[in-house]
């Protein structure tokens, strides 16, 4: 479907698996000539496949447009990507999406077809009055007081809305260049919500039209793509991080370490060949041990625990009010006072029953009873682990509530109407 009235841009830093997967998803609705990669090239030019449409946010573009360019501007000011898009492509409406948005919808086509007939000037998520605890609150007040806020990973703006933002961003930039303001430069969410409201254009939440499809769309925690695809059907999720994100993060941190800190100490080293080889071997072993202890082991456990929670929630008839992962502990709250807690230690998995006081004025710690001790090797077989966890939870679940749940004919309806599940979905995973 070639429709230059509606185009979509993927805001990104590079072309990796996340961008490739999102591009393939978007092709279900958008013609390839309506999909553009808008790339952060403030530091260097990025290589992209020649068959893709790439637009660049460059230092030259920012300077030519008279825009402010201090600090992590490409991270904070996603609206700059809209201006690149608008200047290069003529359209009536512009979508902008980030690579860590997962469109795990039953029909991507129906979603975008629906909005092709909606004239809203600005579609966003989480549009609402801003609270004073929001980190961009004070800078947003420059634009409108009291201010509003929104969320930027998936948005659609009309040509007119982009022009309004562009004009306001140029004006703000001039004020900051002149030293009129000394605080934070308003970010994309602050600008979009408040610059539009100031001229009478009220952003509309995408969830107003699709209220059941944004249950897992938040700032955090990070989500896993394969688990999300399996367990969160007909959802739009954020942030869904793939391995390329973590690779880049480690790369950036190591580059900063070697380029900014280590040379100060090691540039004066005087070592012969054997000593250099010994030092390199030591460093490799040290890094490998750090990766195991500080990254691999806890990250592996975190994945298993999140997968276990999703399995118990959606692949079984177990009844519990909520589940929570904190460090090496996985807690299932079976009722108002009882929790079954799995503690993963270096050699064992300990299972406790914890009883919490119902007295709000009671400051005592919960009473704790050790139920079972399992070998840590159980982590190597997820099937065995999930079976044993399910058996423990079944013994301790609320029997009346569990029976009611099992009698419900439609478990999807049950999930949508269970307020405890919604609390779990928005807070814990």
- Mean per-residue pLDDT for 363-381? 92
Give me the pLDDT at residue 306, please.
95
Residues 268-283: tens digit of each pLDDT: 889 999 999 999 999 9
Share of the chain above pLDDT 70, in %: 91
Domain for residue 391, yes or no?
Answer: yes
Helix axis angle, 297-314 to 382-396, nearest 10°: 50
Q: What pLDDT is recorded for position 404?
A: 65
Overall average pLDDT of the 213-233 stretch: 96
Q: With 50 as the cut, is the pLDDT of residue 423 above it? A: no
pLDDT band at 408 (very low <50, low <70, confident <90, very high): low
- Is 225 part of a structural domain of the chain? no
| 200, 325: one domain | no
pLDDT tens for 15-65 read 999 999 999 999 999 999 999 999 999 999 999 999 999 999 999 999 999
Q: According to the model, what pLDDT value does residue 361 have?
A: 58
Note whether 15 and 151 are same-domain residues: yes
Q: The CATH number of the domain where 157 resides is what?
A: 3.90.550.10
Banded model confidence at residue 417, pLDDT cuts 50, 70, 90: very low
Q: Do 307 and 193 belong to one domain?
A: no
* Domain shared by 155 and 35, yes or no: yes
Q: Report, as an integer, the average pLDDT of 214-236.
A: 96
Pick from 86, 71, 67, 62: nearest CA to 7: 86
Q: Per-residue confidence at 425, pLDDT binned at 50, 70, 90?
A: very low
* pLDDT tens digits, one per residue of 126-149: 999 999 999 999 999 999 999 999
Instruction: Give the per-residue pLDDT at 265.
Output: 72
Residues 194 and 309 in one domain: no
* 60 and 179 together in one domain: yes
State whether 13 and 160 are in the same domain: yes
Structural domain ending residue among the three candidates 211, 230, 247: 211
Strand partners, 148: 129
106-110, 130-134, 214-218, 262-266, range with the lowest pLDDT: 262-266
Rounded distance between C-alpha atoms, residue 19 and residue 22, angstroms: 5
Host domain of residue 42? 6-211
The answer to whether 74 and 42 have CB atoms below 8 angstroms apart is yes
Q: Is 268 helix (H, G, I), strand (E, B) or coil?
A: coil
User: Is the domain of 179 the same as that of 312?
Assistant: no
Output the six-digit token pair for 119: 């004239």
In a domain, 252, yes or no: no
* Domain assignment present for 217: no
Which H helix or E strand runs over 230? helix 225-231
Residue 89: inside a domain: yes
Q: 173-177, 208-212, 358-362: which range is least confident on average?
A: 358-362
Looking at the structure of the chain, the number of domains it has is 2
Tell me if 73 is assigned to some domain: yes
Residue 212 has pLDDT above 70, yes or no: yes
Do 54 and 197 lie in a common domain?
Answer: yes
Tally Cβ neighbours within 10 Å of residue 291. 13
Query: Based on the domain organization, do 179 and 327 belong to the same domain?
Result: no
Residue 145 has a pLDDT of 97
Structural domain contains residue 287: no
Residue 421: which of 341, 314, 347 has the closest Cα?
Answer: 314
| Domain final residue, candidates 172, 191, 211 | 211
**Measuring CA to CA, which residue among 151, 176, 158, 172 is closest to residue 97?**
151
User: What percentage of residues in the chain have a pLDDT greater than 90?
Assistant: 82
Same domain, 318 and 195: no
Out of 164, 191, 211, a domain closes at 211
pLDDT at res. 171:
98
In a domain, 289, yes or no: no
Q: What are the strands, taking DSSP E only, across 304-416?
A: 322-326, 329-333, 338-344, 348-355, 367-375
pLDDT in tens, 289-333: 999 999 999 999 999 999 999 999 999 999 999 999 999 999 999
Nearest 5°: CA angle at 99, between 94 and 105? 80
pTM: 0.87
Q: Does residue 393 register a pLDDT over 60?
A: yes
- Strands of 117-181, DSSP E: 122-129, 148-158
Q: Which long-range contacts (CB under 8 A, 24 or more apart) does 389-396 make?
A: 389/308, 389/312, 389/342, 390/312, 390/316, 390/318, 392/340, 392/351, 393/312, 393/318, 393/320, 393/332, 393/334, 393/340, 394/318, 396/334, 396/338, 396/340, 396/353
Q: What is the pLDDT of residue 252?
A: 87
Mean pLDDT of the chain: 91
pLDDT above 90 (res 414): no
Beta bridge partners of 205: 124
Secondary structure (3-state) at 140: helix
Average pLDDT over every residue of 143-172: 98
Say whether both 182 and 36 belong to one domain.
Answer: yes
Q: How many CA atoms lie within 13 A of 390 on its CB side?
A: 16
């Amino acid at each position: 479907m070639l429709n230059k009235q509606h185009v979509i841009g993927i805001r990104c830093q590079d072309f990796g698996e996340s961008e490739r997967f999102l591009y393939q998803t978007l092709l279900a609705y958008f013609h390839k000539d309506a999909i553009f990669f808008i790339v952060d090239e403030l530091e260097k030019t990025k290589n992209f496949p020649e068959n893709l449409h790439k637009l660049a946010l460059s230092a030259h573009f920012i300077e030519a447009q008279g825009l402010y360019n201090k600090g992590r501007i490409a991270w904070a000011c996603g609206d700059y990507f809209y201006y690149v898009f608008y200047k290069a492509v003529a359209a009536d409406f512009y979508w902008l999406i980030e690579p860590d948005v997962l469109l795990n919808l039953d029909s991507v086509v129906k979603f975008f077809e629906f909005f092709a007939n909606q004239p809203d000037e600005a579609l966003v998520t989480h549009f609402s009055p801003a609270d004073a605890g929001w980190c961009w609150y004070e800078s947003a007040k420059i634009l409108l007081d009291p201010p509003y806020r929104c969320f930027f990973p998936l948005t659609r703006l009309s040509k007119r809305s982009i022009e309004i933002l562009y004009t306001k961003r140029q004006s703000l930039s001039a004020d900051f260049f002149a030293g009129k303001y000394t605080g934070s430069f308003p970010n994309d969410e602050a600008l979009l919500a408040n610059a539009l409201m100031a001229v009478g254009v009220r952003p509309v939440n995408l969830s107003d039209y699709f209220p059941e499809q944004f249950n897992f769309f938040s700032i955090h925690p990070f989500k896993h793509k394969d688990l999300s695809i399996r367990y969160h059907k007909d959802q739009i999720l954020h942030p869904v991080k793939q391995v390329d994100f973590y690779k880049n993060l480690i790369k950036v941190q190591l580059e900063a370490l070697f380029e900014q800190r280590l040379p100060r100490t090691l540039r004066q080293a005087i070592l012969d060949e054997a000593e250099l080889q010994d030092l390199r071997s030591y460093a490799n072993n040290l890094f490998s041990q750090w990766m195991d202890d500080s990254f691999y082991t806890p990250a592996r456990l975190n994945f298993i625990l999140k997968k276990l929670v999703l399995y118990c929630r959606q692949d079984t008839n177990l009844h519990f009010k909520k589940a929570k992962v904190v460090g090496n502990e996985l807690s299932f709250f079976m009722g108002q006072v009882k929790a079954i807690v799995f503690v993963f230690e270096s050699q064992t998995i300990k299972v406790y029953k914890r009883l919490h006081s119902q007295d709000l004025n009671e400051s005592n710690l919960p009473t704790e009873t050790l139920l079972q001790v399992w070998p840590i090797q159980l982590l190597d077989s997820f099937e065995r682990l999930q079976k044993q966890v399910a058996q423990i939870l079944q013994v301790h679940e609320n029997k009346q509530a569990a029976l009611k749940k099992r009698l419900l004919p439609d478990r999807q309806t049950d999930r949508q109407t269970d307020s405890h599940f919604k609390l779990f979905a928005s807070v814990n995973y």
